[in-house]
Amino acid sequence: MATETIRIGGLELRFLQSRETTGGSIDMFEMTAQPNARMPVPHYHESWDEAVYGLDGTINFHIDGQDIAIGPGQSAFIRRGVVHGFTNKTQAPATCLCLLTPGVLGPGYFREIAALLGAGAPDPAKMKEVMLRYGLIPVAP
């Protein structure tokens, strides 16, 4: 399977597997966050769980009210329905492997968000509409 790379501002996602290639079993991608990059609003997933595994640098997740720094070899599990967000508080890029199960999100969500951000100042109502359509529920910080 060929990989697909999607850039959204200071985030880069490299899809390794998707719902299309696994019959809906998993979505798997490497995510690289640049230092101080704008990140998605805190949110939760309606219908999938997420596991995150640190590959390079340190990315900070805020999961269910707890701050968790994930570096190389460290991991976290985010159960569906649990509010989370993330940021890179360091001065170096941070990369982690994300595994979503079942694979119901796919790269389409990220393509749409990238297109909205690439069109200039993002419209919060349109961003929220895309999130909700794909099963990501934004939560006010």
User: Which domain CATH number covers 62?
Assistant: 2.60.120.10
pTM here is 0.92
What are 104-141's pLDDT values in tens digits?
999 999 999 999 988 777 788 999 999 999 999 999 76
Cα 25 off chain centre by: 17
Domain membership of residue 118 as a residue range: 4-103+112-138
Q: 75-101 burial by CB neighbour count: b if 16+ within 10 A, else e?
A: ebebeeeebbbbbbebeebbbbbbbbb
Domain count along the chain: 1
What is the residue type of 98?
C
